Chains A and B, each alone.
Chain A
Amino acid sequence: MASAAIPANSVPGTKTNYLTNGFSLKSWLLTTDHKRIAILYLISVTLFFFLGGFFAMLIRLELLTPQGDLMQADTYNKVFTMHGMIMVFFFLIPVVPATLGNFLVPLMVGAKDLAFPRINLLSWYLYVIAGGLFLHCMLVGGVDTGWTFYTPFSTAASNTHVIEAGLAVFIAGFSSIFTGLNFIVTVHRMRAPGLTWDRLPLFIWANYATSLIMILGTPVVAITIVLVAVERIFHLGIFDPRLGGDPLLFQHLFWFYSHPAVYIMILPSMGVISELITCFSRKRVFGYKFVALSSIAIAVIGFLVWAHHMFVAGISLYAAMIFSFLTFFVGVPSAIKVFNWTATLYRGSISYTTPMLYAFGFIGLFTIGGLTGLFLASLGIDVHVTDTYFVVAHFHYVMVGGVLMGFLGGMHFWWPKISGRLYPEGWARLSALLVFVGFNLTFFPQFILGYVGMPRRYWQYPDEFQVLNVLSTAGASVLAVGYLLPMIYFLWSLRYGELATANPWNAAGLEWQTSSPPPTFNFDETPVVTWEAYNYDEIDAHPQEVPVGR
């Protein structure tokens, strides 16, 4: 059989695992076990997700009516700023790498832990400190610059807690950098014997590419925030034209990171999808090399397109044309992935489990989101729709329809591995459906809203935009239910869920060659890899000897 021997502790309920290895608070808060750190992240990231979601709900409620009648304009400005900052910096960027990535990267490469376990713990503490600082900032009055901090508004005109918010983002950035650094060194130096680069799971390729972006891009936004803070405190003129500075310089520095940042968000989710599609079609992925290298291509080209956020900002005609052209270029590797995943389904043996439903949803929503990105890349259209709800719809399709669907799919897929329990499939499928329907209802009307001309960040709007706004808010309530259900049934399953075996899905990948949940040091023996990735033909030819079930 082409896999390492299933260890004796695959019989569920026996032997100590990483969850039962110490129950004190100290054993959790001072852990260096990547799996426990992943759980710590999971808890914190989920808390921030619901906080950001709460702000989203406030936005959608306010926008039910054309007038600003739920809250004052200043409050609304703070609410959308918080929503953006929390979701971008405290949810979307860490969600897949710091939870699923932290948990799975060492397991998938056959290692006992990440290269630097203490730095891993440090990165969580940095995240928590940053989060705490940001919460404090909210409590003392919040910030109203938008998550994009544009100058000179953020340096000279806003009278909210810009520096504190900026400091929180700065610290969270270092959390991100350390995660990325850890992943790169782990993948380079700690792969199990026989695990060559072309045998790696695509989830690893995806996280590797993400980590490259994390370490190259995040420092730039860090220094940009420092400069904004310095300008604000000392009334310097780096970005203020009245003092000789250039507001466009801020935008260039900011977007140089913030565009690659969106690839930090999507690439790991794309990695998840590769794992789900292969397992639930029982096939190797179509065009492995192309999918693997497309992750790297996205990371590299992603650094060359930042000024497509600035087409109407005052850059020259020629600069705009160059960035528009490059932006189309970066769409190609993403398209390649979608085609390869679809081709993987061809002549597969497909089951409609919850993770697979999320994968289908991802393909559909990411396709729409990616295609609308092409609208924005096209200069003539961008002039009309930039800074409108068209952009809002586009990025929610790729962020929520893409990143979040991938994350939820991955959570369901690896939940047995992480918790040792099975989630209730019926409820999970219902939630997936609710998420898909609710999502489209919420955000598709916003494409139309944007083309009709409703600008972003508007607290009040002309009457004719109301119907579309109401549709969007209605969809959001469905979406909210879709997100709340998993919270409930995942927690429920911890106590009442069926016990999971080592490999309930019969999936390929080293993480399935150890018990559910894994022991603290992952493997009883270091595995030696002699098989290709996604060797489902071999796996299905030799069903597991170990009985499934209790």
Chain B
Amino acid sequence: MSKFLPLWPDRASTMAWQVDALYIYLVLVAAVMTLLIFTAVAIFAVKYRVRPGHKAHQIEGSMVLEIGWSIIPFGVMLTFFVWGAVLFFKERTPPASATEVYVVAKQWMWKIEHMEGQREINELHVPTGQNIKLIMTSQDVIHSFYVPAFRIKQDVLPGRYTTLWFNATQPGKYHLFCAEYCGTSHSGMIGDIVVMEPQQYAQWLSGGPSAPLPEAGKELFSSLGCATCHRVDVQGRGPNLTNVYNKPVLLEDGRTVTADENYIRESILNPTAKIVSGFKPVMPTFQGLVTDEQLNALVAYVKSLAQQPSGAAGTQNQTTASPSGQPQTMQVQ
């Protein structure tokens, strides 16, 4: 496409051509409708212009026409709805086996953390042909992660995670924009998605020194004292977190919730919001004591525990006795 006068962005993801197809359909229907109306108005305006001897002919209306031009356009609109809804469902449903990348937005930059530990600012390297799922949160105000070439956009909110997925098809560099006004440098909060062939991506990945995200999380889990109560060997004061990710959890008040990323995050920042059934509300809050990046690492770690082959679910172990209630000294560094 012409760099001088672009009419549509690059197509660089599996969704891009699907979105463009719907767009073209909408453009065609809109063009036809517009042409019909314009032509009708033009023809009537000329054919029935005021001239001597010509009188207006009063017509009350026509029920048939009214119903016709209500139902038929609505029917056409329903096609817009269905096609759009189907696309939306696909866009909002990440495939099960997607590679996860954590994104933290703040005024005015994008901070990216790969699971392997790679960190980037305002740039996201991804391989082609792989499902990538972004787990995003904001440190301050609402931002929005927008990649025109992938036809995706998702607002990034403070206080919770939102997700986005894509599968890049073409190597290249594509614009990343913030699409929700966020202050002074809103238009400066831009970057690049760098799509690479898988081998090049592997090379790029291996260049980084940082520890994989779950490992960083495991270290924090220990250094912050989480491991003291959330034990895997004997019954601790807190639930065993092995295999807890994405499983239903029974709470004290009778509700059952799913332990997704937002649940894990909330449990760290606001532990008394949801108490697991059978446990006392003794966990302290870590609000203000962990950064968003550290939270991401902890969440990634707890999620990684789901891959353990052994280990009980997140409730009381049957085989060991309950704790005696004596406070144990916490190892805090």
Contacts and interface: CB of A to CB of B under 8 A. Distances in A.
In the complex, are there CB atoms of A and B closer than 8 Å? yes
A332 B74 contact: yes
Given A377-B81, A380-B18, A455-B178, A247 B142 contact: yes
Nearest to A349: B56
Contacts of B74: 328-329, 332
A458 to B, nearest CB: 4
A347 interface: yes
Interface in A337-396: 338-340, 342-343, 345-352, 360, 363-364, 367-368, 371-372, 374-375, 377-384, 386-388
Interface in B5-59: 5-9, 18-19, 22-23, 26, 30, 33-34, 37-38, 40-41, 44-45, 48-50, 54-59
A119 to B, nearest CB: 37
A346 B209 CA distance: 75
A381 B19 contact: yes
A197 B110 CA distance: 59
A457 interface: yes
Interface-central residue, A320, A364, A387, by most chain B CB under 10 Å: A387
Given A289-B61, A324-B81, A387 B144 contact: yes
Given A150-B180, A317-B92, A537-B56, A342 B73 contact: no
Interface residues of B, number: 85
A379 B37 contact: no
Contact of A281 (B56, B61, B159, B185): B56
Given A317-B89, A381-B23, A381-B26, A458 B59 contact: no
Main secondary structure of the interface of B (DSSP, over half): mixed
Given A68-B187, A281-B56, A314-B162, A378 B84 contact: yes
A167 interface: no
B171 interface: no
B77 interface: yes
A313 B16 CA distance: 21
A230 B38 CA distance: 50
Contacts of A331: 73, 77
Contact of B84 (A288, A368, A381, A462): A381
B80 A374 contact: yes
Contact of B87 (A339, A380, A464): A380
Interface residues of A, number: 93
B285 to A, nearest CB: 12
Given A348-B44, A352-B49, A381-B26, A387 B59 contact: no
A374 B78 CA distance: 10
A73 B188 contact: yes
B73 A314 contact: no
Contacts of B93: 317
A450 to B, nearest CB: 10
Interface in B132-188: 140-142, 144, 146, 148-149, 151-155, 157-160, 162, 175, 177-188
Contacts of A117: none
B91 interface: yes
Nearest to B270: A244
Contacts of B66: 287, 290, 336, 340
Contacts of B155: 312-314
A392 B91 CA distance: 24
B9 A347 contact: no
Contacts of B162: 314
Main secondary structure of the interface of A (DSSP, over half): helix
A360 B44 CA distance: 11
B85 interface: yes
Given A290-B66, A468-B5, A351 B158 contact: no
Interface in B61-120: 61-62, 65-66, 69-70, 73-74, 77-78, 80-81, 83-89, 91-93, 107
Given A73-B187, A281-B56, A290-B66, A338 B177 contact: no
A73 B56 contact: no
Contact of B48 (A346, A364, A371, A386): A346
B151 A384 contact: yes
Interface stretch (A100-108, A122-130, A151-159): A151-159
A380 B30 contact: no
Given A146-B181, A343-B65, A452 B7 contact: yes
Contacts of A156: 140-141
B6 A377 contact: no
Nearest to A364: B38
Given A150-B142, A378-B81, A387-B179, A241 B148 contact: no
Contact of A382 (B38, B77, B84, B180): B84
Interface in A291-334: 311-314, 317, 320-321, 324-325, 328-329, 331-332
A448 B142 CA distance: 26
A335 interface: yes
Nearest to A152: B141
B60 interface: yes
Contacts of B160: 241, 314
Contact of B78 (A314, A328, A345, A381): A328
Given A290-B61, A374-B26, A387-B146, A380 B83 contact: yes
A49 to B, nearest CB: 24
B59 A453 contact: no
Interface in A271-294: 281-284, 286-290
- Closest 6 pairs between A and B when the two form their complex, measured CB to CB: A241-B159, A380-B87, A453-B148, A378-B84, A379-B88, A287-B61
Interface of B: 3-9, 18-19, 22-23, 26, 30, 33-34, 37-38, 40-41, 44-45, 48-50, 54-62, 65-66, 69-70, 73-74, 77-78, 80-81, 83-89, 91-93, 107, 140-142, 144, 146, 148-149, 151-155, 157-160, 162, 175, 177-188, 190
Given A289-B61, A455-B177, 7 more contacts: A282-B55, A325-B81, A332-B74, A360-B45, A367-B34, A451-B9, A457-B187
17 contacts: A144-B183, A242-B158, A247-B142, A247-B158, A284-B58, A286-B61, A332-B74, A347-B48, A371-B30, A371-B34, A383-B152, A384-B23, A451-B7, A453-B148, A455-B177, A461-B187, A462-B175
